[in-house]
Structure 1
C-alpha cells in the first residue's frame, strides 16, 4: 500500500490566498488609501495640481535623471558584471564588496559624500569649475547620485545569467568563424537581454523614488533641481496632504505605465 506524502509547499489555493493577503496588506490597501485620499479633490482641482509648472518640471527632472542613471548603469554595470564573472584578479573580492556598498550605506551618507566631492569647493568640483561647468546642484549631479545608488541592481541581476552561460558556447561560435562582435550579438545578447531589462527596470524604479542621496547634491531649486519626492515633502510640510497625495498618484501612475511597458518588452523578447 503506497503512502501519500504531503508536499513541502501547500496547494495552489492556500498559497495564492496567503500571497494575495500579504500583497493586499503591504501594497494594495496603502495604494488604494492614497487614491481614496485624492477624492477630497475635485477633478478640476486634481488636474490643476498635477499640471502645475513646478510639478511638471520636477516630474521631468525625476524621470529624466532616473532614466539617464539607469542607461549609464546598463552599460557600466554590464562591463562590471562581465569582469567579475569572466576574470580572476587580485582585489576582486574588494570590488564585489564595493559594488554592494550602496545597498548598505545610508542614502543620506552617500548624498553628503557625493556633495563634498562634487561641490564647487570639492576635489572634483573645483576641477569642473575651472573648466567652466558645475556638477553639484545641477541635473548632472543628480544623475551621478542616482548612478551610484542604482549600480548594484544591474550588476547583481546580470551576474548569475553570465555565470550560467558556458564559455564553450563562445568558443564554438569562434570556431565557426564568428568574430567577437558577432559572438556577442548572436550568442550572448539574446541570453542577457531579459536580465538586462530587469536590472534596468529595477535601477530606473529605484532612481525615480530616491530621496536621501539626491537632496544634498541637488540644491533643491524649484523649476531647476527640485525632484518630485522633495516636492511631495514640501507639500507635507505645508500641511497640504491632498496636494501631496495627488502628486504621489501622478508619480505612481507614470511609474506603473513605464514599468509595465518595460515588462511587456522583456516578455516579448524572452518569448521564442
Structure 2
C-alpha cells in the first residue's frame, strides 16, 4: 500500500521558525533593544529628569490626547464609510473606495502642507471658520484623522462583507427593529475589527511627524508633539535624551495595545459563549 505524503508549500517548521526569528531580530528586537541600551547610559535620575520635564510632559499630553481623539473620530466615521461602501451601490463607488487608501500613498509632508494651506487663518477653509484650526491641537487632530482613517475602514469593511444578510432579514421578520439588529447582530461581529482599527490608528497617530509638524506650528507648551521633541533632542546631539523619550512612548504604546488585545480576546470569548 502506497504511503501518501503531504507536500509542504513552505519549508519545514524549523527552517520557517529560523527565518522568522532572524527577521524579527534584525528589524524589530535588536533596534528596540538598542533604544533601551542607549537610554541606560543616563541613569535613573537623569532619565526621570528628562522624561518628566514640563515641556516633555506637555508634549505627551498633546500627542496622546490628539491621537486618542483622532482614533475615536475615525472609529465613528470609518464605520459609516465602510457601511456605505459595503451596503449601498452608487455611481463612483470604486473611485471612492480607491480614495480611502490615499493617505497610505501620499507623502506625509505633502499631506501636512496641504492641510495647513486649507486650515490656515487665510486658507480656503480656515477663513470661513469662526475659530482657528491650524497651529492648534484641533489642527493636529484633523491631520491625525486624515492619516488614520484608512486603518478603520479597511479593518471593518471585510467583516461587514462577510456578515450574512439572511440573519438580519430573519431578525427583522421576527419583529426586531433596526437598532436592535445593529446592536445584537452586527455590532458584536464588527467590534473586534473596530478595536483593531482604533489601535492601529492610535499607534500611527502617536508616531506621526510629517503631516503634523506643519499644521501644529510647533509652539512651545502649546502645540509641540512628542516626536518633535525627539527630533529636537537629536538635532542637539542628545541621543540618550531622545531615546529616553522614545522609551516612554514605546512603553505606553505597548501597554495600550496590550489592553486593546485583552478587549479583543474578551469580545471573542463573549461571542463564542453567545453562540
2:146 counterpart of 1:148: yes
Tell me, yes or no, if structure 1 residue 89 matches structure 2 residue 90.
Answer: yes
- The answer to whether 1:250 aligns with 2:248 is yes
Equivalent in the alignment of 2:34: 33
Q: CA deviation at 1:222?
A: 1.3
Take 2:141 and 2:167, find their aligned partners in 1: how far apart are those partners?
A: 37
State the match for 1:268 in structure 2: 266
Q: Could you list the per-position Cα deviations for residues 105-150 of structure 1 after superposition, in whole angstroms to 9, with x for gaps in the alignment?
A: 001000000000000000111112xx2x210000000000000011
Spell out the pairing of 1:171-210 with structure 2 (5 A cutoff). Answer: 171-210=169-208
Shift, 1:3, TM fit = 3.9
Displacement, 1:7? 1.4
Superimposed CA distance per residue, residues 69-92 of structure 1 (whole angstroms, 9 cap, x where no aligned partner): 000000000000000001110011
Equivalent residue number for residue 16 of structure 2: 15
Q: Alignment RMSD, CA only? A: 0.9
Deviation for aligned residue 1:259: 0.8
Q: Counterparts of 1:143 and 1:245 in 2: how far apart (Å)?
A: 25
2:164 maps to 166
Cα shift readout 1:212-232 (whole Å, capped 9, x = no counterpart): 000000000111100000110
Q: Distance in 1 between matches of 2:163 and 2:180?
A: 16
Structure 1 length as normaliser, TM-score?
0.97
Partner residue, 1:56? 57
**1:107-118 equivalent positions in 2, closer than 5 A:** 107-118=108-119
Distance 2:4 2:268 in 1: 41
Corresponding residue SS for 2:30? helix
Tell me the secondary structure at the aligned position of residue 243 of structure 1: helix
2:235 corresponds to: 237
- CA–CA distance in structure 1, aligned partners of residues 146 and 4 of structure 2: 56
Query: How many angstroms apart in 2 are the aligned matches of 1:4 and 1:83?
Result: 47
**Distance in 2 (alpha carbons) for counterparts of 1:174 and 1:11:** 50
| Cα separation, 2, equivalents of 1:161 and 1:118 | 35
Structure 2 portions without partners, runs of 5+: none
Q: Deviations over 1:20-49 (max 9, x none)?
A: 211111100000011000111011000100
Distance 1:252 1:25 in 2: 18
Query: 1:2 corresponds to which residue?
Result: 3
What's the counterpart of residue 221 of structure 1? 219
Q: What secondary structure does 2:125 align onto?
A: helix
Give, in whole Å, the separation in 1 of the partners of 2:4 and 2:126: 72
Structure 1 gap segments, 5+ residues each: none
